[in-house]
Amino acid sequence: MTTAEGFAPAKVNLTLHVTGQRADGYHLLDSLVVFADLGDRLWYEPGPRLSLEVTGPFSQGVPADARNLVWRAAEAARWTGCIRLEKNLPHGAGIGGGSSDAAAALRDLGGPTSAALALGADVPVCLSSAPQRMTGIGEVLTLVPTVPALNMVLVNPGGAVPTPAVFAALAEKSHPAMDEIPAVAEHAEFIDWLSCQRNDLEAPARSCAPQIDAALTSLNQADLVRMSGSGATCFGVFADPGTAREAALRIGSLHPTWWVRACRTIAGSAGQVPPYG
Ligand code: C5P
């Protein structure tokens, strides 16, 4: 029996502007989304029945049944067999987690992309690991080929942050959209542009989860520091991989209980497969 392998990269919202709210409560977003060269891994072995085994450092508390989005993605693909999911990313953490896993399974098992949005608002963007501008509630996607590869440190100070609570704590629902994305791939100019954009969920997330303040402060040597998604993971962008690695080592030794990783994001022009680290 052949076992196929899949990869679910960490999603990072370089920006996340909340521009309105629909009548059904879902929020309208304008977000620049990129993907990192680290993530969860999946293995698929076809068989007569669907089963799911969850392993890895963040497997605790992850359901291995129909509550798991990977299971529902397999059902949407009408696929049966054994799926092993290795959870390397913290979940409830603003970096994709379950959404990226679900998108990987849907894509790898040949499920219809039309099923993605019903699995979660973040699932459609995770179907591709290229940089994308995400609008609507997450379903309107445009590839942004000018985003350069970025050297980053991801810092998660612990404590799952429930996305609905963060949206509920957002006082003003209608913020300005992103500025026009520059047609340049040069690091400094891109960082200048990025520093004028926002994550509108940062303030409400900090009020729900005060540990985010310490995570942001720990990254103060980066060229740009921001929270991803609804938190609590924060990212720092560094000029080169060596500086990012040094920062990750320093932050990790100061905060041994935090999840701290240096990574590189997948550039817009690159169609290549990441080094599945
Ligand atoms: O779609 P998903 O289940 O991932 O979303 C989780 C929650 O996040 C939703 O129930 C909703 O409270 C909030 N959300 C939102 N607007 C979005 C995406 C998510 O209000 N565009």
Å from CA of 92 to ligand 1 middle: 12
- The reported pLDDT for the residue numbered 186 is 83
- The reported pLDDT for the residue numbered 271 is 39
Those residues of the chain that have pLDDT short of 50 are: 270-277
- The reported pLDDT for the residue numbered 47 is 98
Which atom of ligand 1 sits closest to the CA of residue 28?
21
Q: Among 222, 46, 210, 229, which residue's Cα sits nearest to residue 122?
A: 229
Chain CA centroid to CA 87, Å: 14
Å from CA of 266 to ligand 1 middle: 25
Catalytic residues: 11, 122
Query: Look-up: residue for tokens 């990269």?
Result: 9
Instruction: Please tell me if the CB atom of residue 229 comes closer than 6 angstroms to any atom of ligand 1.
Output: no
Which atom of ligand 1 sits closest to the CA of residue 25?
20
- The reported pLDDT for the residue numbered 274 is 41
Q: Decide: pTM greater than 0.85.
A: yes
Instruction: Please tell me if the CB atom of residue 167 comes closer than 6 angstroms to any atom of ligand 1.
Output: yes
Which atom of ligand 1 sits closest to the CA of residue 138?
21
Instruction: Please tell me if the CB atom of residue 29 comes closer than 6 angstroms to any atom of ligand 1.
Output: yes
3-state secondary structure of 92: coil
- Asked if 24 and 137 touch (Cβ cutoff 8 Å), the reply is no
Long-range CB pairs of 18-26, under 8 A, 24+ apart, other chains included: 18/167, 18/170, 18/173, 18/174, 18/175, 18/200, 18/201, 19/174, 19/175, 19/176, 19/177, 20/173, 20/174, 21/173, 21/174, 22/137, 26/121, 26/137
DSSP alpha helices (H): ranges in the chain? 69-76, 98-108, 116-119, 123-126, 163-168, 187-195, 202-208, 211-218, 241-254
- The reported pLDDT for the residue numbered 236 is 98
pLDDT tens-place string over residues 114-131: 999 999 999 999 999 999
Å from CA of 163 to ligand 1 middle: 7
Instruction: Please tell me if the CB atom of residue 17 comes closer than 6 angstroms to any atom of ligand 1.
Output: no
Chain CA centroid to CA 188, Å: 23
